[in-house]
Amino acid sequence: MTQNIYDESAFFENYSQLRRSVEGLAGAPEWPALQSLLPNLNGLKIVDLGCGFGWFCRWARQQGAAQVLGLDISDKMLARATAATSDTTIIYAKADMEKLNLPRASFDLAYSSLALHYVEDLAGLMANVHDAILPGGRLIFSIEHPIYMAPENPRWLVGSDGRKIWPLDSYLNEGRRISDWLAKGVIKQHRTIGTTLNMLIHTGFTITHVEEWGPTARQIDAMPELAEERERPMFMLIAAQH
Amino acid sequence: MTQNIYDESAFFENYSQLRRSVEGLAGAPEWPALQSLLPNLNGLKIVDLGCGFGWFCRWARQQGAAQVLGLDISDKMLARATAATSDTTIIYAKADMEKLNLPRASFDLAYSSLALHYVEDLAGLMANVHDAILPGGRLIFSIEHPIYMAPENPRWLVGSDGRKIWPLDSYLNEGRRISDWLAKGVIKQHRTIGTTLNMLIHTGFTITHVEEWGPTARQIDAMPELAEERERPMFMLIAAQH
∠ CA(B88), CA(B91), CA(B95), 5° rounding? 165
Q: Cα-flanking dihedrals φ and ψ of residue B112, to 5°? A: -155, 130
Q: How many CA atoms lie within 13 A of B95 on its CB side?
A: 22
- Judge whether B128 lies within some domain: yes
pLDDT value at residue B108? 98
Q: Which of residues 180-239 of A touch B (CB under 8 A)?
A: 192-194, 197-198, 201, 206-212, 214, 229-233, 236
DSSP one-letter code for B205: P
Helix or strand (DSSP H, E) at B113: strand B107-113
pLDDT value at residue B3? 80
Smallest Cβ–Cβ distance between A171 and the set B147, B173, B193 belongs to: B147
| Chain A residues in contact with B34 (beta carbon < 8 A) | none
With a CB cutoff of 8 Å and minimum separation 6, the contacts of A86 are: none
Q: Which residue of A has its CA nearest to B207?
A: A207
pLDDT value at residue A1? 67
- Judge whether B93 lies within some domain: yes
What Rg value do the Cα atoms of chain A yield, rounded?
A: 18
What burial class does residue A34 get, using C-beta atoms within 10 Å of its C-beta: 0-12 exposed, 13-18 middle, 19+ buried?
A: buried
Domain of A236 in residue numbering reads as 5-241
| Chain B residues in contact with A232 (beta carbon < 8 A) | 168-169, 171-172
Lowest mean pLDDT among A22-31, A47-56, B140-149: A22-31
| Chain A residues in contact with B145 (beta carbon < 8 A) | none
- Judge whether B200 lies within some domain: yes
Q: How far is CA B113 from the centre of its chain?
A: 2
A156-203 pLDDT, tens per residue?
Answer: 999 778 889 999 999 999 999 998 877 888 899 999 999 999 999 999
State the complex-level ipTM: 0.96
pLDDT value at residue B1? 67
Other Cβ atoms less than 10 A from the Cβ of B67: the count is 18
Q: Each residue of A217-229: b (16+ CB within 10 Å) or e?
A: eebbeeeeebebb
Q: Is the pLDDT of residue A36 over 90?
A: yes
Q: Residue A2: which of A186, A137, A155, A193 has the closest Cα?
A: A186
Q: What percent of chain A has pLDDT over 90?
A: 84
- The answer to whether B170 and B152 are in contact (CB under 8 A) is yes
Give the residue with greater pLDDT, A221 vs B179.
A221
- Judge whether B15 lies within some domain: yes
Question: DSSP per residue over chain A, as a string?
Answer: ----GGGSHHHHHHHHTSHHHHTGGGG-TTHHHHHTTS---TT-EEEEET-TTSHHHHHHHHTT-SEEEEEES-HHHHHHHHHT---TTEEEEE--GGG--PPTT-EEEEEEES-GGG-S-HHHHHHHHHHHEEEEEEEEEEEE-HHHH--SS-S-EE-TTS-EEEEE--TT--EEEEE-SSSTTEEEEE--HHHHHHHHHHHT-EEEEEEEE---HHHHHH-GGGGGGGTS--EEEEEEE-
- Judge whether B180 lies within some domain: no
Lowest mean pLDDT among A66-70, A127-131, B20-24, B124-128: B20-24
Residue contact A232–B171, C-beta within 8 A: yes
- The answer to whether A114 and A141 are in contact (CB under 8 A) is no
- Judge whether B167 lies within some domain: no
Task: Write out the E strands in B169-205.
Answer: 175-179, 186-190
Which CATH number does the domain housing residue B41 bear?
Answer: 3.40.50.150
DSSP one-letter code for B101: -
- Judge whether B91 lies within some domain: yes
DSSP one-letter code for B162: S
Q: Residue B190: which of B226, B235, B224, B147 has the closest Cα?
A: B147
Average pLDDT over residues A201-219: 97
Other Cβ atoms less than 10 A from the Cβ of B2: the count is 19
Residue B136 pairs with which residues in a beta bridge? none
Distance (Å, whole) CA B201 – CA A115: 26
- Judge whether B50 lies within some domain: yes
How far A235 CA sits from the closest chain B CA (Å)?
12
Q: Which residue of A has its CA nearest to B197?
A: A210
Compute the 3-state secondary structure of chain B and give helix, strand, coil in percent, each to the nearest 5: 35, 30, 35
Distance (Å, whole) CA B38 – CA B141: 10
β-sheet with B157-158: strand ranges across: A157-158, A164-168, B164-168, B157-158
Range with top average pLDDT, A2-16, A38-52, A159-173: A38-52
Residues of chain B under the 50 pLDDT cut: none
Distance (Å, whole) CA A203 – CA A200: 5
B163-199 pLDDT, tens per residue?
Answer: 899 999 999 999 999 988 788 888 999 999 999 999 9
- The whole-chain average pLDDT of chain A stands at 95
| Chain B residues in contact with A170 (beta carbon < 8 A) | 230-231
Number of domains in chain A: 1
pLDDT value at residue A46? 98
Smallest Cβ–Cβ distance between A172 and the set B198, B207, B212 belongs to: B212
A71-96 pLDDT, tens per residue?
Answer: 999 999 999 999 999 999 999 999 99
